[in-house]
Amino acid sequence: MKEEITSETSGNLIVSPFSVETVLSLTYEGAKGATASELVTGLSLPSTEEMIEQAFKSFLTNVKGSEEDELVFSSANKVYVDQQVELEKNFATLAESVFESEVGTVNFESSYAAAEEINAWVESKTNSKIQNLVSPDSIGEETTILLVNTIYLSGKWQNAFDQFPVVKGSFYTTEDNTVETDFMHEEEYLNYYDNEELDAKFLELPLKGGNIQMVIALPNKVEGLSTLEENLDKVLELQLLESSGVKVDLPKFSVQSDIEFVPVLEKLGVKHLFSMDADLSGISSTNKNLYIGNVIQKAFINVTEGGWKLQLLLMHQMNN
């Protein structure tokens, strides 16, 4: 999926494959025939429904955070169903028991009221950190079911950037262009590796209270970013990190990105899902013409001296 995403987007990018696979795996539970087969192949899902359900049930149980440990992690799912649509009982049961998803009804004909209700739920599930991310305009006239996944992560650096003052410095946005921005500085023993094959340095910055780290890949040459982008599989492999004394200059930054996943998924061979040929009768047998109109992921990350925060929302819109 990495190559398909990068080919469809430009500039800074934040993506959560876990969020996408969670919602589409739930959709798979209600898909039939070619629609289901394309999802299994395109997303490389396990070969049986039982294996998919077991994998997600096990994983979702272990992705928890604790404010006492100074690490807050929350992930929540909800299926919003138009008040005139009846879900299949088996699908609703699986959504709640396996995917830990709430199920509720809403009046999509009133897009402002629907957006307000969804935003209130997102806010309640993210400690009021994600607000107003669903606009009335994002809810179409044909919307009948909306699957929502939210992720919120907030953590403090295990080694905070508070020993040295923040200073201005030049950051290369391209090989030929720079911007002046605030740089944080730290001198510490951290897990580090210089990958000669990729001609890049890797640094692990852990958060307090949990097994979550930010891993930074820095090309050794200013023009080296394209090489890393062309070798994302190798970049995302586990590196041979070892504790080493390092001096770190890291810019403070905030990045926001929106990704439309329909063209990405179509490149992966998932096509029936987005056409009138879709078979989602396992979700609602009374609505024969269900198909996916949109799969949109919105994400925001903010990195400062104290730590970093990630906010993410995925909307999966079914039309009729």
Distances in Å between the alpha carbon of 64 and those of 76, 209, 310? Answer: 11, 11, 15
pLDDT of 127-146, one tens digit each? 777 777 788 888 877 888 88
Q: Are residues 202 and 230 in the same domain?
A: yes
Q: Is 29 part of any domain?
A: yes
Helix (H) or strand (E) holding 41: helix 33-43
**Whole-prediction pTM:** 0.84
pLDDT of residue 4: 65
pLDDT of residue 6: 65
Per-residue pLDDT band for 253 (boundaries 50, 70, 90) equals: very high
Q: Are residues 108 and 148 in the same domain?
A: yes
Could you count the other beta carbons within 10 Å of the beta carbon of residue 195?
17
Q: Are residues 290 and 141 in the same domain?
A: yes
Q: Are residues 102 and 69 in the same domain?
A: yes
Q: Are residues 247 and 263 in the same domain?
A: no
Please check the confidence at residue 229 and state whether its pLDDT lies above 90. Answer: no
pLDDT of 61-113, one tens digit each? 655 555 555 788 888 889 998 888 888 999 999 888 888 888 989 998 898 99
What CATH number corresponds to the domain at position 67?
3.30.497.10
Q: Is 244 part of any domain?
A: yes
pLDDT of 192-202, one tens digit each? 999 999 999 99
Quick one: tokens of 273? 């899902």
What CATH number corresponds to the domain at position 239?
2.30.39.10
Q: Are residues 69 and 204 in the same domain?
A: no
pLDDT of 166-197, one tens digit each? 999 999 888 888 999 999 999 999 999 999 99
Range of the domain at 239: 167-251
Q: Are strands 200-206 and 167-172 parallel, antiparallel or unpaired?
A: unpaired
Round to whole Å and give the CA distance between 85 and 235.
45
Mean pLDDT of the 301-310 span: 92
Question: E-assigned strands of 59-199?
Answer: 71-82, 101-106, 143-156, 167-172, 178-195
Q: Are residues 20 and 117 in the same domain?
A: yes
Counted domains in the chain: 2
Q: Are residues 178 and 296 in the same domain?
A: no
Q: Are residues 182 and 275 in the same domain?
A: no
Q: Are residues 180 and 297 in the same domain?
A: no
Q: Is 161 part of any domain?
A: no
